[in-house]
Structure 1
Amino acid sequence: MTAETSATTTDRSRLLELIKELAVVHERVTLSSGVEADYYIDLRRITLHHEASVLVGRAMLDLPDDAGIAFEAAGGLARGAVPVGPAVLHAAAAAGRPIDAFVGRKTQKTHGMGRQVEGPDVSGRPVVVPEGTSTTGGSALAAVEGVRRAGGDVRAVAVIVDRTTGSKERIESEAGVPYLFAFGKDELGLG
């Protein structure tokens, strides 16, 4: 085991611990998709946390790398994906890698520059669309569509936690890109 592998393993273990401690809420909830669940995974408690956000950036930078997917920018729809893209940007910068972040909207603006994807231009660039988690894949698919309209080459969708509710299958089928995840719900004790 190299020092880098050891650090990655330590980061991953600590991030999992923080997700279990801070983000998993055990109560009956209705998700944005309308689906009811006995638990809620509030990853904003992680992506906006002083320690966890650094670990999120590293984990989300590692996912595409481990899958052999090169990319130059990371971002998604304005909401849950917003803190993840900059976390990747900062982790990449710390590693000496030039990866930009961006924020997408569900629809193109009708004022100003009329953009759907804000930040550095994604046109012609390889992009990863990160999310906290996904129930139906709808937000990720909307982000993929917006990035493609802006000329970006979407290489993968990457989530922190996979809820195993069909998002992987839907995204891979409809968007035609790999669906990567750092943790499965079973790792959170939610299997």
Structure 2
Amino acid sequence: MTDTTAARARLRELIQELAVVHEKVTLSSGKEADYYIDLRRVTLHHEASALVGQVMLDMLDDAGIQFESAGGLTMGADPVGTAVMHAAGQRGRNIDAFVVRKAQKTHGMARQVEGPDVAGRAVVVLEDTSTTGGSALTAIEGVRRAGGNIQAVAVIVDRDTGSKERIEAEAGVPYLFAFGKDELGLA
């Protein structure tokens, strides 16, 4: 599927069908919600994964974001980075993926950012969904310490709970999202 509109529509359907769980939950931020968006059910799905890569890459391209590598805090961002890498490869573009650990390793190479080196490279920090922006900010901190130049933060679903404002204010980079909660019929 190469048409952006069709890819977005199908991905939205899959998110609504596979990822949205209507029940009271406590989010990783500690906040409570009446629904949970389990995007790993989408990012690791045989059909949806390719759509994630296509939609995210199209969104970043449409925004004029130039980058050489994409990734974020393990584990929500891992399949998103891989999907973007593969979508770019299908278009003849060389975009690497990376993984950011919550804390720097104390053994081996003692790295916090794994994968091809991000030092001196233009990178995008990815996330599946964001509530407070905390995971993306942790990833940004790790990538900046590793020498990466953050161009933007991009998420699949924004919960409209302040992540965009917090990330743009604290990290000074644009925050993009493919779908808002309203597009998914969530209040």
Verify same fold: TM over 0.5. Answer: yes
For the pair 1:10 / 2:14, whether they are aligned, the reply is: no
Task: Judge conservation of contact 1:77–1:139 (CA < 8 Å) in 2.
Answer: yes
For the pair 1:57 / 2:62, whether they are aligned, the reply is: no
User: Could you tell me how far apart the structure 2 residues matched to 1:124 and 1:111 are?
Assistant: 24
The percent identity for this pair of structures is: 78
Q: TM-score, normalised by structure 1?
A: 0.96
Corresponding pairs, count: 187
Equivalent position of 1:185 in the other structure: 181
User: Could you tell me how far apart the structure 2 residues matched to 1:169 and 1:79 are?
Assistant: 23
- 1:111-150 counterparts in 2 under 5 A? 111-150=107-146
- The one-letter code of the counterpart of 2:66 is A
User: Could you tell me how far apart the structure 2 residues matched to 1:107 and 1:24 are?
Assistant: 30
User: Could you tell me how far apart the structure 2 residues matched to 1:65 and 1:18 are?
Assistant: 23
Task: Judge conservation of contact 1:60–1:130 (CA < 8 Å) in 2.
Answer: no
For the pair 1:28 / 2:19, whether they are aligned, the reply is: no
User: Could you tell me how far apart the structure 2 residues matched to 1:58 and 1:12 are?
Assistant: 9
For the pair 1:82 / 2:81, whether they are aligned, the reply is: no
Aligned with 1:83: secondary structure?
helix
1:46 paired residue among 42, 49, 62:
42
Q: Give unpaired runs (5+ residues) of structure 1.
A: none
Aligned with 2:86: secondary structure?
helix
User: Could you tell me how far apart the structure 2 residues matched to 1:183 and 1:68 are?
Assistant: 18
Runs of 4+ in structure 1 over 3 Å off: none
Q: TM-score, normalised by structure 2?
A: 0.98
Deviation at 1:139, TM superposition (A): 0.3
RMSD, aligned CA: 1.0
User: Could you tell me how far apart the structure 1 residues matched to 2:81 and 2:89 are?
Assistant: 12
Equivalent position of 2:66 in the other structure: 70
Aligned with 2:157: secondary structure?
strand
Aligned with 2:97: secondary structure?
strand
- The one-letter code of the counterpart of 1:190 is L
- The one-letter code of the counterpart of 1:106 is K
Deviation at 1:68, TM superposition (A): 0.7
